[in-house]
Amino acid sequence: MALDEAADAGGRRRRRRSEKPDAAPKRVAHYNRVRNTLPFAEPFSSDQVEAIHNASLRVLEELGVKVLLEEGRDILRGAGCKVDEDTLMVHFDRGLVEEAIKQAPSDFIMTAGAPERDLHVGGREVIFGPGAGCPNVTDFDRGRRPGSYEAFVETTKLQQSFDVIQKLGPSSEPQDVPVNLRHYATMRAQLTLTDKIPWLYSRGPQQVAEGFEIMRLMRGLSEEEFLNTPCVSTVVNTNSPRQIDRPMSQGIIDFARAGQMNVITPFCLSGAMAPITIPGALTLSHAEALAGITLAQIVRPGAPVVYGAFSSNVDMKSGAPAFGTPEHLKTNFGAGQLARHVDLPWRSGGGTAASSPDVQADYETQLSVWGALLGGANLIYHSAGWLEGGLTFSYEKFITDIETLQTLAETMAPIPCAEDDIGFEAIAEVQPGGHFFAASQTMRRYSTQFYEPFVSDWSNFGQWTEAGEKSATDRANALWKKTLEEYEPPKVDEDRLAAVDEYIEKCKAEGGAPIMD
Amino acid sequence: MALDEAADAGGRRRRRRSEKPDAAPKRVAHYNRVRNTLPFAEPFSSDQVEAIHNASLRVLEELGVKVLLEEGRDILRGAGCKVDEDTLMVHFDRGLVEEAIKQAPSDFIMTAGAPERDLHVGGREVIFGPGAGCPNVTDFDRGRRPGSYEAFVETTKLQQSFDVIQKLGPSSEPQDVPVNLRHYATMRAQLTLTDKIPWLYSRGPQQVAEGFEIMRLMRGLSEEEFLNTPCVSTVVNTNSPRQIDRPMSQGIIDFARAGQMNVITPFCLSGAMAPITIPGALTLSHAEALAGITLAQIVRPGAPVVYGAFSSNVDMKSGAPAFGTPEHLKTNFGAGQLARHVDLPWRSGGGTAASSPDVQADYETQLSVWGALLGGANLIYHSAGWLEGGLTFSYEKFITDIETLQTLAETMAPIPCAEDDIGFEAIAEVQPGGHFFAASQTMRRYSTQFYEPFVSDWSNFGQWTEAGEKSATDRANALWKKTLEEYEPPKVDEDRLAAVDEYIEKCKAEGGAPIMD
């Protein structure tokens, strides 16, 4: 969290007072960079972390991973893995995996459309991503419906409008755009509606190559510069347990070759695709993440990868996925320990299984975000708007979640504690039983000292009743509409955009790009 | 968190399998004792903690505290404080305060109506108390209304029904019981409807003495035993800034004399009754808590006291109190550092300013409870059901908050990580792309491994729609009614109860007990 440039040199959380005595300075905060100053929860001893890590290496070596893509198996065989072409199983030598871990960078910079949107991935940085990958969207006015290009544009504008969402994500799948043309629409929308770092699905080599070319043109980079400028990301989900499918293997290879950010995330639901125990689920998840990271590092040593871990549990009565559970939080704590053990930036996720933006949706999401923060995650996807375990993106929930994320960002900001902050004189100034409203320290700071919420209503019951008994979610409904009304697009280089449009037209004329099976 | 006696000796979270193969063991957890295994957030350096502590001692020494009760001033004067009888100001010598801090116990045991309800106050123990002190109550069936004896009974039964509320609190003020008789009703209800540790308001020496006598009779203690058996608690709020009123001073004296638990809690709202800065609010709050603790320790060295800190901030536009704000969380972190600096158990509080049990009520309450947990608080009052900044207790919110508290308690439980928990064999058993539902490790553990929520609904959107689109709060409405229906009173010693009733009748016949101005 950082205040705008008017914050004084000592980092105090206030602005210069205006010349006019009655024009109180307004507090302006931005959240382009958030540093996690919380302590990390570490329930496992270092011996236990080592034991899980070793069990994962044993899984990779003795049991192996099924790699469905021939090119992937060829690359791994070339690096010394044992490959069985009948079963498609790849057995990873422990030394090879350890070498790959060493080659992967501990942190790196992602370049955005504006310098203040650049991201440092790793260390104590926290990057919040929106609810992503949702086939449906919902809001109180239009109800639940399949994701569309219109919804994609709206949700992308919402992401651009709040600094605390530092990284874009595909909140709504634009199902009304043919899949062979969809990547043109989503890339162009992201690059014109926002100046934040975009994503690109790994749906086959041609789509990825074209997405990269759009990025390169839009950022005005030479081909060589592009290969050394991480500026677009993908998420690769393994097919737990122990399988990497064709488009996912291809995505690892293509993003590594291009030096672009690859978030390799096993989605290990304990009891379903992963063992029912937390150490067991962590062992499998760790093994799969390391398998993907190893492939990436063989393709290009030093390629920017993120260690993904998005493990929760299922309801053992129904098999339904669950989020914000004790098991979800604890797995996050353990995943953080494992990520730090291999010294890689790591990605987690918030979540809820609720079907409406109700109190359950809220407590599950906040619980899971705390799990990620206390686990020390660097990227926290699905931190706003995700509903129904990712099947739906809720506009209202996005807004209420943003309030929580901003509160968390402010909570992690340092607390000035100089003599004037302790303020013995301010205490001396107010008599016993009096109040500080008019104290001189208060007068100097009242308009900038505190975080001002935009959803929360602190009026009393009578005022609240008179104002129509609006719930936070009712207010959120008005707020997303206001946000879209007030949305302003970032400045875009028109020449570069013309080059992008020309390129997209050419690709479309050639029939677009197929998705990979 | 601990599982019931069927948990095996190694602390594994499962029960013995039943002899009948189709009778899956059921997971039974209780939360009578919760240990905080989270790391503590410590934003202040040890130098800064020392600086705040010293500023507080300077406030006590140079500025002083106004003590409205003559007996309080006399006691303090007798111990060496400088007292001005015109201004009623008491100036505390720094050495006297430091001596008092040394005499106060770092931790102690509270004795309840059943041994499993005894509480260890201090160390890493966490005790959750309900929303307390509310003049009003609300639920979806009966709406918002003044607190009554009926509501007092209901809310006390609700507190008894969930282990995770380890300590009773006055959720509803029984406004329909005359104030000179109210303590008889509340004491008797607590001691017959629950076996947990009760509270007693400090509303004057006669009410307190009678409440103690009721406790003594109900616990079957001699007068001397009672004085050495902490079994009832009060909360003393200072009148910030720098004032302790008559009933509060009297409460400190009476509870200390009787060796009963005294939670001395300045309620310092930053910007209103306390400085606008976090270090300033902490300085004032720390000074006031130490003033009360010093008085208690002069009255009886070693008396069980709890360092209270319930500091948040106000909305600087309206003066309305706010909770779950960044400032609230940060003040909790700092208060924890100060409490550990003086090595005393400490009390914090959750809270929300919302007017209905909506998403705001949820996120503010959870945020503030996390602030208290990461601050290392030993007692967290107002952790369930509190609404409108304490003006109203919500039955539905109590239930949804309990779900969050149980999740937190489970999250803090240790994670078994032996060889069988890592379970290499379980991973080997399931083929790539398969599932673990039928794996032997899963079959051994499926019915006991995971926390099972009682509010959260993890069904999919279609099932949820068919079931009537019930929100979590709708379900909570049904759940509090079910809880009251299924409520069972604890076993009560009939002879002792008869003695209590005889005593209460005698007191009533004498006209009850007045409250102190």
In tens, the pLDDT along B163-175 reads 999 999 999 999 9
Q: Does the pLDDT value for residue B12 go beyond 80? A: no
Residues of A in contact with B135 (CB under 8 A): none
CA atoms within 13 A on the CB side of B270: 32
How would you class B115 by CB atoms within 10 Å of its CB: exposed for 0-12, middle for 13-18, buried for 19 or more?
exposed
Q: How far is B410 from chain A (nearest CA, A)?
A: 6
pLDDT at site B99: 98
- Smallest CA–CA distance, residue A471 to chain B, in Å, is 6
Q: Return the number of other C-beta atoms located less than 10 Å from residue A469's C-beta.
A: 12
In chain A, domain spans: 31-413+451-517
Return the pLDDT at A10.
35
* Cis peptide bond upstream of B241, omega within 30: yes
Residue B517, pLDDT score: 86
Closest partner CB to A458 (pick from B39, B353, B416): B353
The yes-or-no verdict on residue B14 having pLDDT over 70 is no
Q: Which two tokens stand for residue A105?
A: 């960078």
Residues of chain B positioned with their CB less than 8 A from the CB of A144: 461
A513 and A207 Cβ atoms separated by less than 8 Å = yes
Alpha-carbon distance of A514 to A504, in angstroms, equals 15
User: What's residue A23's pLDDT?
Assistant: 57
Where does the pLDDT of residue B28 fall: very low under 50, low under 70, confident under 90, or very high at 90 and above?
A: confident
Share of chain B above pLDDT 70, in %: 95
Confidence check: pLDDT of B6 > 80: no
Mean pLDDT throughout B184-191? 98
Nearest-angstrom CA–CA distance, A213 and A222? 10
Determine the average pLDDT of the residues in B130-143.
Answer: 98
8 Å CB contact between B449 and B14: yes
Mean pLDDT by 10 residues, chain A (517 residues): 35 38 71 97 98 98 98 98 98 97 98 97 98 98 98 98 98 97 98 98 97 98 98 96 96 98 95 96 98 98 97 93 98 98 97 98 98 98 98 98 98 96 96 94 93 97 97 98 98 97 98 94
Could you tell me the pTM of the whole model?
0.95
- Distance from C-alpha of A261 to C-alpha of A45, rounded to nearest angstrom: 31
Contacts of A432 in chain B (CB under 8 A): 65-66, 89, 239, 241-243
| pLDDT higher than 50, residue B42 | yes
Q: Can you list the alpha helix ranges (DSSP code H) found in A169-232? A: 182-193, 205-219, 223-227
Preceding amide of A241 cis, omega within 30 = yes
SS3 B471: coil
Fold of the domain spanning A31-413+451-517? TIM Barrel (3.20.20)
How sure is the predictor about B253, in pLDDT bands with cuts at 50, 70 and 90? very high
How confident is the prediction for chain B on average, in pLDDT?
94
Section B426-437 average pLDDT: 95
Q: Which helix (H) or strand (E) holds B401?
A: helix B395-411
Sign of CA dihedral A249, A251, A254, A256: negative
pLDDT band at B9 (very low <50, low <70, confident <90, very high): very low
Q: Which stretches of A355-493 are DSSP H helices?
A: 359-374, 395-411, 419-422, 424-429, 440-445, 461-466, 472-486
pLDDT of residue B10 exceeding 50, the answer is: no
pLDDT on residue A27: 86
> How far apart (Å, rounded) are the C-alpha atoms in residues A164 and A30?
8
Query: C-alpha angle B113/B117/B120, rounded to 5°?
Result: 120
Q: What is the pLDDT of residue B13?
A: 37
Question: In sequence order, what DSSP letters do the residues of B69-98 get, joined into one string?
Answer: -HHHHHHHHHTT-EEETTTTEEE--HHHHH
Q: Provide the β-strand partners of residue B379.
A: B127, B347
User: What average pLDDT does range B134-153 have in this prediction?
Assistant: 98
> Which of B189, B199, B203 is CA-nearest to residue B254?
B203
CB contact (8 A) between residue A442 and residue B471: no
User: Which of chain B's residues have a Cβ under 8 Å away from the Cβ of A273?
Assistant: 435-436
pLDDT at A8: 34
**Residue B5 pLDDT class (50, 70, 90 cuts):** very low
Residues 6+ apart with CB under 8 A from B438: none
Q: In a mutagenesis test of the B interface, which of A243, A364, A417 is the best target, namely the one with the most B β-carbons within 10 Å?
A: A417
**B195 neighbors B490 (Cβ within 8 angstroms):** yes
**A455 closest CA partner among A410, A404, A386:** A404
| Amino acid making up residue B305 | V
pLDDT band at B506 (very low <50, low <70, confident <90, very high): very high
Strand ranges across the sheet with A321-322: A269-270, A312-314, A321-322
Comparing alpha-carbon positions, the chain A residue that sits nearest to B285 is A427
**Chain A positions in Cβ-Cβ contact with residue B355 (cut-off 8 Å):** 457, 459-461, 464-465, 469
Quote the tokens at residue B471: 């929100």
